[in-house]
Structure formats: C-alpha cells, structure tokens
Chain A
C-alpha cells in the first residue's frame, strides 16, 4: 500500500517535471512579453517530430539528434516571436492572443501536412529498464526525466539570478524603457527568452515522447494546456512558481488517477486550480499586483 503510494508519487513527479519544464516557457515569455504564447505547447510536438526525423529519417546518432532537436525548437521559438508577435508589440492584448492561437493551429496543420494524421510509433531514446530501489520500482525513463528536469531547473535559476544576461532579463520584464536606458537591447533579450523557453519545451518534448512512444500532430496540445494551468497555479510570471505549479499538478493528477478515478483526474486538476485562484488570484508564488494611482 505504502509502496504503491510512493510509486504513484514518483509517477506524479515525472509527469509534473514535464509540465514544469513547459510551464517555465509560458511564465518566462509572459514575464517579459506580457503575453500568453499559446503556440508554446506545439513546440513540444515540433521537438518530438524533430527527434523522430533526425533519428529515423536522417539516421543521426542519438546525442546529435537530441542537440539538433533543441536547436530546431529554439530557432523556431525565436522566429515565431520575430514574425508573429513582434509586429504586434504595441497592439491590443486580444490581437496578440488570437495570433498566438493562430500560430498554434499553423504549427499543428503544418505537421499534419508533412507527417499525416496516423500516429507514428517511436521508440524511446532512453533505454527502458526497471530499477529497483529497495521495494520500489522506478523506470529508467522516470529517473532520467527527474534528473534532467532538476539539472535544467538549477541551471536556469543560476542563469537568471547570477549572470548579467539573467539580471537584464529580469530588468526587461519589469520595465522595458528603464532597461533600454541601461543599454540593454530589449529585442535581443526577448529573443533570448523565447530561445530558452523553447529549448526547455524541446527537452520536455523529448522526455514526453520517450514516455508515450507515439506521435501525432496534436500531441503538444494537452501537455501544453496543462502546463499553462501549472504556470497560472504557481503564479504566472514567476519561474519558481512554474516549477512548483508543474510538480504539484503532476502529483495531484497521478494521485487522483490512482485513488479516485482516471476519468475524473483532469476535472480534479482543474478544480484545484479554481479553488487556488479563488483564494490566491495571483497564484501560489505570484506577486499581488499593486495598482499605482
């Protein structure tokens, strides 16, 4: 009973890690560009297909394929911002939102056109073995997911808090004009943010596809929307919030599936979000907005 519970928690951590990696992208872009990039979930899909294409079609060795996947997603993220969002920087938020949704459809449809709608099976790049830790069984994919996510989060936190570029990013997210006056190039800082967010989405895509081993053009939609929920739960704009929100969401989902009902799991997840937002409208770690008069 206890062992089963621990295993469920570990499963939850795995799913939650993937949500967290995606949620960081939502929250970073929101922090700096003040927009919800609804195409962000589809970057995961592009990452999955890029990995499949590099390995199964181009026949590249796995490490090269992984690197290429991350690069493809980063470049795509930067291009999306430059082409679709940058021209709308002074437009109404609604126009940007609709553009982002349009971009999401565009990516899904393009992938449908290229790869078709039949799911493509894809073998995990991580060898699948079960590891016994005492009486608890953990799959190697889960272990890799947890380690990779932890490393990514530590590196990102160090980057944001300890480097010059990181403090420039925080400055831009607070006040673009004042940041310009410091000599910070706001446009390249925004590009950098999209690149980092998309690279993390690529990593999430690789981990996700290793777990589910089947691809279709809409594969990014569900994890994308759940990660968005995670970002809001943690407090949109806050990076630690996105990490916490993602992990919590994964844990709640996993425990609900195991002990309450598989069908109701998603409803419970969204229910938790509603309850949290009722009591803390800016999310768990989000800042209260102080309106200055």
Chain B
C-alpha cells in the first residue's frame, strides 16, 4: 500500500528551480532511499513533503490525504516525522526537553513517559545525558537525539535527511543500525543520503536524483550493481 505518493513535484528554492517534476512513492513498511549529489534537490523534496517549503506544482498524498497545502505543524499530527539535515536539535534545551518537544502533539502523559523509556532503552547515551543541554552533545549524540525526538511523535513514516553527514565511520555504522531497527519495529522510512553505498545497503528501493529530476529508480539491490550508479555515486 502506498503511504506516501509524490506526483510531478516542482519546487522553487529562491530563484532556483530545485525540483523539476519529481514523482515517487513509498509503500508502507519500506525503506526508500533518495540518493544523489549535493544540490540534486533531495532536501528540497523532503522539506516540501513536510511542509517547510511549498510546492510550486504537483501533489503530495500521505495516508490517503492530500497534504500539498497542509502546514508543517499539522502534517506532524497526521503521523509524519522529519529528522532534518544538520540534526537541528534545540541546543539551549536539555536532552529531555528536546525529547518532550518531539511529543508536542501528544497529550497522553502516560504514553509519552512510555515512549521516553523506549527511547532511553534504544539510545542509552541519551539517558546518561538527559539533563545536559543538547548543544554540548557530540555530533553523533545529536543525531541520536534528533532521531529520538522524531520517534517521540509515534510516526507512521519517518523522513531522514543525511543522518550520517559529518559523523565518524563508527557512528555512521551505529546510525544505520538504528535506522534498520526503527524500520524493523514497523516504521516506514524515507531516507535521503549522500552516502549512497550505505543507503542502498539497507533500502528496499531507491530513486536517483540529478539536478531536480529523478533519473533512475528500482530495487536497491539492482541499483547497487548498476554501472552508471557505481560510477557516479559509489566511486567504483
């Protein structure tokens, strides 16, 4: 079943046409990767899906509803969470305050506490640092916090923008393990990554973006062996 369906999306970013008619879909339970070079329009697509940017043309459908013109703060309520590029945790707030803001749309106190416990189990390091302000965490810890914060809203679909960016190889592996775990616990994942090799290794399907257009799509396993993908994105 298609849970997210993007059709003929055109997005302008300032004067630049960042996305030029992209169509793709994400089925329930999948990990779908959007790969492509810097400036291909990956982040613009994610921002438009979650309402931070508005679509110039085209449509976005989520869980059977048209959300093309829905405001960002209302889209979260429908069950979509977004882990933005560069983590964007609230640096002056403590870890626990960041996580609680992730549950801003929820009102079930007991349920929120339960989710908080789950997050602490999945990310023991966040538990250790729960009263620390987020700005003092390392890059990898901030990435975990951004993921934990997004999970606090109990999303059906989670969008992740460059989760491995700027992290040490050790952390990169850990982050990808966590993405796999999140997916295994039943959350659908749309992943944007420059690290194409890593992304394709955990994804079910993938779309390749080039200067605002989708130029290739298919099974991740097929794409990983595709000669043009190998040459352009896997450095082989």
Chain A proximity mask over B87-99: 1 for CB below 8 Å, otherwise 0: 0111111000100
Q: Which of the 9-residue segments A4-12, A45-53, A167-175 touches chain B?
A: A167-175
Is the CB–CB distance between B73 and A180 below 8 Å? yes
Is A148 in contact with chain B by the CB < 8 A criterion? no
Q: Quick check: is B188 within 8 A (CB to CB) of the other chain?
A: no
State whether A170 touches B92 (Cβ < 8 A): yes
What mask results when residues 108 to 122 of chain A are scored 1 for a CB within 8 Å of chain B, else 0? 000000000000000
Q: Are A186 and B101 in contact (CB under 8 A)?
A: no
Which residue, B73, B149, B150, has most C-beta atoms of chain A within 10 A?
A: B73
**A184 close to B (CB within 8 Å):** yes
Most chain B CB within 10 A, of A167, A178, A183, is at A183
Q: Which of A174, A177, A181 has the most CB of B within 10 A?
A: A181
Interchain CB contact under 8 A, B73 and A175: no
| A164 CA to B74 CA, complexed, in Å | 17
* A-B CB contact pairs (8 Å), 18 listed: A164-B104, A167-B97, A167-B100, A174-B91, A174-B93, A177-B72, A177-B84, A177-B88, A178-B88, A178-B90, A180-B52, A181-B76, A181-B81, A181-B82, A182-B101, A182-B105, A183-B153, A184-B104
Say whether, besides A171-B101, A177-B88, A185 and B73 are in contact (CB < 8 Å). Answer: yes
Given the complex, which residues of A lie within 8 Å of B115, measured CB to CB? Answer: none
Taking a contact as CB atoms under 8 Å apart, the answer to whether B88 and A182 are in contact is: no
| Given A164-B104, A180-B72, A186-B73; A171-B90 close (CB under 8 Å) | yes
Q: How many B residues have CB within 8 A of the partner chain? A: 27
What is the size, in residues, of chain A's interface with B at 8 Å between Cβ atoms?
A: 18
Residues of B near A170 (CB, < 8 A) are 90, 92-93, 97
Residue of B nearest to A170 (CB): B93
Residues of A in contact with B (beta carbons under 8 Å apart): 164, 167-168, 170-171, 174-175, 177-186, 287
- Closest chain-B Cβ to A181's Cβ sits at a distance in Å of 5
B213 proximity list for chain A (CB < 8 A): none
Interface flags, B16-42, vs A, CB<8A=1, else 0:
000000000000000000000000000
Q: What's the nearest-Cβ distance from chain A to residue B147, in Å?
A: 13
Chain B 55-79 interface residues, beta-carbon cutoff 8 Å to A = 71-74, 76-77
CA distance A185 to B93 in the complex (A): 18
Partner of A182, one of B71, B74, B92, B102: B102
In the complex, whether B164 has a CB less than 8 A from a CB of chain A is no
The 3 closest A-B pairs by CB, nearest first: A183-B105, A183-B76, A180-B72
Asked if B51 is at the interface (CB within 8 A of a chain A CB), the reply is: yes
List chain A residues, Cβ under 8 A from B102.
182
Chain A residues whose CB sits within 8 angstroms of the CB of B54 once the complex forms: none
| Nearest CB on B from A145, distance (A) | 31
Q: Is the CB of A182 within 8 A of B84?
A: no
**Interchain CB contact under 8 A, B91 and A168:** no
Told that A167-B100, A183-B105, A185-B71 touch, could you supply 5 new A-B pairs with CB distance under 8 A?
A167-B93, A171-B90, A175-B90, A180-B73, A183-B73
